[in-house]
Each structure stands twice: as structure tokens, then as C-alpha cells.
Amino acid sequence: NAGVTQTPKFQVLKTGQSMTLQCAQDMNHNSMYWYRQDPGMGLRLIYYSASEGTTDKGEVPNGYNVSRLNKREFSLRLESAAPSQTSVYFCASSEVLQGAFLWNTIYFGEGSWLTVV
């Protein structure tokens, strides 16, 4: 039972390089998310996809792009990496019960440690 799988787990980039973080979930969830976590800042939402075919900006979208490839997969791309993007990135997914005003559990991947030098 894999849950949410993200790759790579560790990556070192040079300033200006590009890369894509991959994420896949096997729980048939509609909603997927990308967060970054920095010391003292907590989890901050970068982008999310409420359902297949839609994406929306979160709190800190600048410098990132996303693609909801299908229901299972949601990728995060850094077009031109900057040292300020050094962080731990978490992909997550959840099912939302519309109309019941109740969120189900949000499940996280194990994280991707990214360093930009």
C-alpha cells in the first residue's frame, strides 16, 4: 500500500537549473497538493489541484509550475532554481466530501529534500 510516492528524495541543484518533482498517489483521491516546509515557517502551500484538470495557486507559487497529469499524478517544476527554493517539499493528497463540509485525512509523501547551491 504505497499511498503517496514522490521522487526524488534528495536532489542538489545549481542556481538556474531546472527540475521536476514527481508525485503519484494510489488512493483514487481527487485533490493533490504541493507544500514546502522551512524551519520556523511551517508548511506552506505552493499549488494544489482540487480535481483532475484544475490547478490553483497556493500561498507561495512564485518560481514554480505544476501539472496535474492525470488523477494519480501531480508534478512540481522549478524552471530556474534559486537558493531561496532550498527546502523540503511534500506532496499530499486527500478526498473531499462535498456538501458534508468534512475533509477527509490528507496523506503526505515522505518528502523531497532539495538544495540549491
Partner 1 sequence: RKEVEQDPGPFNVPEGATVAFNCTYSNSASQSFFWYRQDCRKEPKLLMSVYSSGNEDGRFTAQLNRASQYISLLIRDSKLSDSATYLCVVAQVGGNTPLVFGKGTRLSVIA
Q: Which of 19, 50, 65, 73 binds partner 1 (CB under 8 A)?
A: 50
Choices 12-20, 21-29, 38-46, 70-78; region in contact with partner 1 by CB under 8 A? 38-46
Q: Parallel, antiparallel, or unpaired: how do β-strands 112-116 and 10-13 relate?
A: parallel
Query: Taking CB under 8 A as the rule, does residue 42 contact partner 1?
Result: yes
Phi, psi for 84 (deg, rounded to 5): -65, -10
| Smallest distance from partner 1 to CB 20, Å | 20
Using DSSP, state whether 109 is helix, strand or coil: coil
The nearest distance, CB 16 to partner 1, in angstroms, is 28
Q: Which residues bind partner 1 (CB under 8 A)?
A: 31, 33, 35, 40-43, 45, 48, 50, 58, 90, 94, 96-99, 101-103, 105-106, 108-111
